[in-house]
Amino acid sequence: TVKNSTKKKWTMYKLQDKKSGSKENWYSDPEKFKRKLQQQVDLYFDSAASVSVTLQDGALWCRLYLPSGNHFMTANAVYLIHYPNSHCFAISAFKVSVQNFLFQCLSNLFGYHTLTSMNLSGLQYKSLFQLAFNKLGETSFGKLSDVQSLPFISRRKRKAEEIEREPNLRSEDVAMKRHRSLSLEAAFGEYQQPVLESLRFKVEAKFMGKKNIENFQDNGEPFRCCVKFEGPSVLDGVRNLASCGLANEPLPKHLLRVNSLGTNNFVLKSKEKS
Counting residues of the chain whose pLDDT is more than 90, the rounded percentage is: 42
In the chain the beta strands, taken as DSSP E runs, fall at 10-18, 50-56, 59-65, 77-82, 88-91, 112-122, 198-205, 223-230, 265-269
pLDDT tier at 136 (50, 70, 90 boundaries)? confident
Beta strand 265-269 with 198-205: parallel, antiparallel or unpaired?
Answer: parallel
**Residue 254: partners with Cβ closer than 8 Å, 6 or more residues away:** 201, 266, 268
pLDDT tier at 25 (50, 70, 90 boundaries)? confident
CA–CA distances in Å: residue 87 to residues 15, 118, 132, 213 = 6, 11, 9, 51
- Rg of the chain, C-alpha, whole Å: 23
Q: Tell me which of 177 and 216 has the higher pLDDT.
A: 177
Query: What one-character DSSP code corresponds to residue 128?
Result: H
pLDDT tier at 115 (50, 70, 90 boundaries)? very high
pLDDT tier at 175 (50, 70, 90 boundaries)? confident
Residue spans per domain, the chain: 5-136, 158-190+196-269
List, for residues 213-248, the tens digit of each pLDDT value: 777 677 777 888 999 999 999 999 988 888 887 777
List, for residues 144-161, the tens digit of each pLDDT value: 334 444 555 555 565 555
List, for residues 67-97, the tens digit of each pLDDT value: 877 777 888 899 999 999 899 999 999 999 9
pLDDT at 141: 38
Q: Do residues 168 and 157 touch, judged by C-beta distance below 8 A?
A: no
CA–CA distances in Å: residue 129 to residues 15, 28, 95, 172, 221 = 14, 17, 23, 41, 37
pLDDT at 273: 60
CATH number of 5-136: 3.60.90
pTM of the model: 0.81
CATH number of 158-190+196-269: 3.10.20.720
The rounded mean pLDDT for the chain is: 82
List, for residues 240-274, the tens digit of each pLDDT value: 888 887 777 778 888 888 888 889 999 888 776 64
pLDDT at 170: 54
